[in-house]
Structure 1
Amino acid sequence: MKVVVIGAGPSGLVACKSLLEAASTDFPFDPIVLEQEADIGGTFRYRSYQNATLVSSKQLTSFSDFRLPFEHPDHLTLEEYVDYLRAYCKNFGITERIHLQTKVVSVSRNPDGGHIVSYVKKTPSGEWESTLHTINAAYVALCTGLHVIPSIPVVPGLEHVLNPENHASGTTPSAYHSVEYKSRTQLAGRRVMILGTGETGMDLAYEAAKAGAKEVVLCSRSGFLSFPKALNDFEIFGFGFKKTDKAGVPIDSLITNLAETAYVHPWVASTHIRWFVSDFVIKRLMWFLTGTQAGCNQWVGELEPERLGRAYVFLNKSHKAMPYINRPYKSRPAILEYMSRYIDPPEDMPPHTDFTVDLAPFPSHFLPNGRAVFPSSKRKDAIRMQKRDVRPDLVIYATGYRQEFSFLDKDGEYPTPGDADVRNVVRTGDESIAFIGFVRPGVGAIPPISEMQTFFWISLLKGQVKRPLPPPHYHLLVKDTARIKYGVDHSAYMSTLAKDIGAAPGLWQLWWEHGTHVTVCYCFGAAFTTFYRLVGPYASPLAPHISKTELWDTVTRRGLLGNLIMGLIPMVFYLAVSALALGLELALTLGGLMRV
């Protein structure tokens, strides 16, 4: 059964490895990876830049059975992560299955079943050859990624910014997408405007400040939710809660399993009460610790109230620019600052005291003299920027990416990721083509999700998925008009896939097979893929040891107080809510008011 995997980023690599391991007499999967670039790594290799690091922790991002050494930092540089992927390929013997500089030009339906994949290879001179090669494939895994084709919105009047006459002599104005940014030398001495307050936009704002830019204006469409990728130092009544030698507790390892993903009544899951309650608590905790509910020590750029929280948006975990952004807005009474305060990491503090990264709305247009015009509103940053004369000589679009699948034959009626109604992986009745890695978690990482999606797809092909599938209660809550609709709650999505394929462990089974240590770790740990390899069809002999060592470390690093506040108390509360829902369901069933 030839399987063509398109793309050699993390999603394509884990799909290839998982298919190889799942091959059997009845399902002799024979995967091959086609990658148009000259190296593996995808976005992490070809859309990286100087000083870029992962915002997801190594504990969450690493694949389930190939872990990084303990001495590695929690958050890797992109170069380190690509090295990890190379080691992964070598360890599992998939390097020889990867065909680099091989571009897929067409995927069409084979009248005899399956798909015909046509591709070309690059010649030694760097040109794509004219000879077309084909593969008859039983299955196709699309792993081309969410972040490939730059999305560049039109801003009227940009040509005035690019007019050298509007700038000082010797200045060469320019505008480009963030995919073209590579190092601080591109920012030094420039008047920089960055469009977009995602994690890349925030990174670039920080890099521009550190590079010695003359001015940095960071433009936001509708706000953002800022949190550090690792919890750092807090003080409460003068007593410090210091970060550990591992640079804090990774924020993506805080949400616990028991009662958040395991043993959740369907009614509780469908109402998303867990998300709303945690949002309510976190907002009040952030106000007490930092003085603002908008985010962690975030004093401007807040989202509108109906979108502020875990249930709605992607957390922005690039936090380093916030000290520069906060400066004109932060105002907290001294008495509250004595009671509690968040301490920005020293390496992220401004090198000089007067530099500010100006937050602003997206410009509506540029005037003939190159000045940016910002729409008026009641936003704090909009009011402040109405008085500013902003004339950038460098505009960077940190506006994300869009997806295109022009190589899919239109006559073949192929689905797109938006059509993948079966767990966001395949379209109903069209299981031979899968989309791996085309969801984005609000807090989490795509590579481990891709691993679970591959497990789900393999189980689907083998007829081992439990039917009927329960309703999907893992999507982030967005309006119909939202630009991005592929957001999911990492924990809810991972556990849903695990339950579908019989890989979500029950507590009694877990204790019986692996003992108390692993069971407690699972209850207090986050939705690590390794936990879903303790039992079930993809059980790994490595999973118990990883759980008792590396993953146990993520639990103990929170400390007793952290595990009480972020673990035990939420568990007891949510278990009580689910027990109440179960009791009500039983009463209605026994009373004849509801059918089982």
Structure 2
Amino acid sequence: MKVVIIGAGPAGLVACKSLLENADDAYPFDPVVLEQETAIGGTFRYRSYENAALVSSKQLTSFSDFRLPLSHPDHLTLEEYVEYLEAYAQHFDLNKRIQLKTKVLNVRRDPKGGHIVSYTRFDGSGTSNRGSAIQTMHAQYLIVCTGLHVIPSIPSIPGVEHLAAQTPPVKVFHSHEYKTRSQFEGKRVMILGTGETGMDLAYESAKAGAKEVVLCTRAGFLSFPKALNDFEVLGYRFDDEKKVPIDSLITNLAETAYVHPWVAASHIRWFVSDFVIKRLLWVLTGTQAGCNQWVGELEPERLGRAYVFLNKSHKAMPYINRPFRKRAPLLDYMSRYMDPPEDSPPQTDFAVDLAPFPTSFLPNGRAVFPNLERKDAKRIMGRDIRPEIVVFATGYQQDFSMLDPESNYPTPDQASIRNITREGDEDIAFIGFVRPGVGAIPPIAEMQTLFWISLIKGQVRQPLPPAHYHLLVKESARIKYGVDHSTYMSTLAKDIGAAPGLWQTWWEHGAHVLLCYCFGAAFTSFYRLTGPYKSPLAPEVVKTEIWDTITRRGWVGNIVMGLIPMIFYLSLNSLAYVAATVWVACGGDS
């Protein structure tokens, strides 16, 4: 069964490996990966820049059965992650399945069944296919793993054309063209976009010695550091060298495991979590907008885990906060968040100016900002901002032009079955096209692939329960592919019979693994303890690496962030169970 996988990033690699591992006599999967670049790694290799690092932890991002050493730092640089992917491909002997410098031109349905994939091979430069003939390949299945970061998205701003006419001309480019901080040295820099890349570039501008840095945000952001522990309470500093990765804090029991359908449908877990976190942040840092975030706050109706992607690039926040942070010394002594120490060179008085997106640029190159009631808008209003560099850190669009329009192929937004495939079109899958609010795409891609394999083999529970994992966004929202990482992962695991039960976990693996499962986050290794994809490596990963993330929280952390929420949510789910039982007994629908 030939399976063509388009793209050799993390999603394409794990899809290929999973198919090889789960091929059998009934389903003899024969995967081939077609990659247009000269090497594997996708966006992590080709969208990389100086000092770039993952904001998701190694514990969450690593694939379930190929882990990094316990001694390795929690967060990898992009170069280290590409090396990890290369080692993964070599370990599972995937390289012979990967055809580099191979661009897919067209995919169309074969009237006899399956798909006809047309492709061409590039020459040695990887940029031209002159003289290369178009070839075809028949595939029974197709997996699209081209990723979310493909075509730069550049919004239109009136007057931006005036920037090229300045003396000297203003450099305007998308963030994918940024490579080193020296590009910003001595310049007046404007960065459009406050996603993680925009925040990285703001920090790099400050450290490069830029004359001025203006960071523009559409509607705010939710800022958190990628690892927690830099807090001081009554003079006592919690700055353990082993900080806790933020994506390992959400526990399983009663939040993703043993959740009543009524509770899941109400999303009350997210709302309660948001309510508690906001109050805790106010006590610890003096603000509810984010972790030590004093400006750039989101609208109240969008502030929380249920609505947005957490911005875990936190390094620029000291520079952004400087003009706005005001807190009484007594409150600061009682509790405060400690900004990470400055690296060289220190700039203790430099500030990154937050601002709204400019509405236009004047012929003289000056930026015009909207008159808003936001704190940042009031501070920037009336200032003469004339950037020498403008960077669009405004994200990407996806490209599915290779899918023949006459074949009526779906796109990821039409993937009605768990955001992976469309009913009636199960022979084409989209892997890696959801983005978690807090989490990472590679482990999601692994679970999506396992779900799709089970679906093809007819081993997914039917009917599928309703999906309650999407982030809550307005109909007009630009990005609608957001999911809650924990809820989505556990949903897929339940669908394929890979979510371990408490009694089963204790019986098969003992109390240590059971305790880890209850207190741990939704790591993929948990969903390989049992079920169709059971791995002998999973128990050891749980008892060592995942146990380490739990013990780092300490007794106080595990009580506050683990035990208390579990008791509350278990009580809530128990009440829902009793209410549902009474409802059904009275003749209501189950």
1:96 aligned onto 2:93: no
Give CA deviations for 1:213-251 in whole Å, capped at 9, x if unaligned: 11100000000000000003111111221132x3x1100
Alignment of 1:10-29 (within 5 A): 10-29=10-29
SS at match of 1:162: helix
Letter in 1 for 2:214: V
Give how far 1:316 is off.
0.2
Give CA deviations for 1:523-562 in whole Å, capped at 9, x if unaligned: 0000000000000000000000000000100100110000
1:177 aligned onto 2:169: no
TM-score (normalised: structure 2): 0.99
Alignment of 1:356-395 (within 5 A): 356-395=351-390
SS at match of 2:510: helix
| Contact 1:299/1:330 (8 A) holds in 2 | yes
Letter in 2 for 1:207: E
Equivalent in 324, 331, 348 of residue 326 of structure 2: 331
SS at match of 2:219: coil
Q: Which moved more, 1:342-351 or 1:317-326?
A: 342-351
Alignment of 1:181-260 (within 5 A): 181-244=178-241, 246=242, 248-260=243-255
Q: Which runs of 5+ in 2 are unaligned?
A: none
**Quick one: distance in 2 between partners of 1:316 and 1:348?**
21
Instruction: Give the aligned partner of residue 168 of structure 1.
Output: none
Give how far 1:172 is off.
4.5
**Quick one: distance in 1 between partners of 2:441 and 2:75?**
15
| Contact 1:323/1:349 (8 A) holds in 2 | no
SS at match of 2:533: coil
Alignment of 1:264-275 (within 5 A): 264-275=259-270
Alignment of 1:425-444 (within 5 A): 425-444=420-439
SS at match of 2:377: helix
1:158 aligned onto 2:160: yes
Instruction: Give the aligned partner of residue 117 of structure 2.
Output: 117
Letter in 2 for 1:78: L
Give how far 1:408 is off.
0.4
Instruction: Give the aligned partner of residue 293 of structure 1.
Output: 288
| Contact 1:106/1:408 (8 A) holds in 2 | yes
Letter in 1 for 2:120: V
List structure 1 runs of 4+ shifted beyond 3 angstroms.
347-350
| Contact 2:412/2:419 (8 A) holds in 1 | yes
**Quick one: distance in 1 between partners of 2:306 and 2:125?**
50
Instruction: Give the aligned partner of residue 304 of structure 1.
Output: 299
> What is the total number of aligned residue pairs between the two structures?
588
**Quick one: distance in 1 between partners of 2:124 and 2:192?**
38
Letter in 2 for 1:551: I
1:136 aligned onto 2:133: no
**Quick one: distance in 2 between partners of 1:433 and 1:465?**
17
Instruction: Give the aligned partner of residue 490 of structure 2.
Output: 495
Instruction: Give the aligned partner of residue 444 of structure 2.
Output: 449
Equivalent in 578, 582, 585 of residue 587 of structure 1: 582
Give how far 1:595 is off.
3.5
Give CA deviations for 1:420-447 in whole Å, capped at 9, x if unaligned: 0100000111000000000000000000
Give how far 1:466 is off.
0.1
Q: Which runs of 5+ in 1 are unaligned?
A: 166-170
State percent identity of aligned pairs: 72
**Quick one: distance in 1 between partners of 2:32 and 2:440?**
25
**Quick one: distance in 2 between partners of 1:233 and 1:389?**
37
TM-score (normalised: structure 1): 0.98
| Contact 1:109/1:116 (8 A) holds in 2 | yes
Letter in 2 for 1:259: A
| Contact 1:225/1:316 (8 A) holds in 2 | yes
Give how far 1:350 is off.
7.9
| Contact 2:166/2:365 (8 A) holds in 1 | no
Alignment of 1:419-568 (within 5 A): 419-568=414-563
Give CA deviations for 1:484-509 in whole Å, capped at 9, x if unaligned: 00000000000000000000000000
Letter in 1 for 2:74: D
**Quick one: distance in 2 between partners of 1:303 and 1:118?**
46
SS at match of 1:562: helix
Letter in 2 for 1:28: P
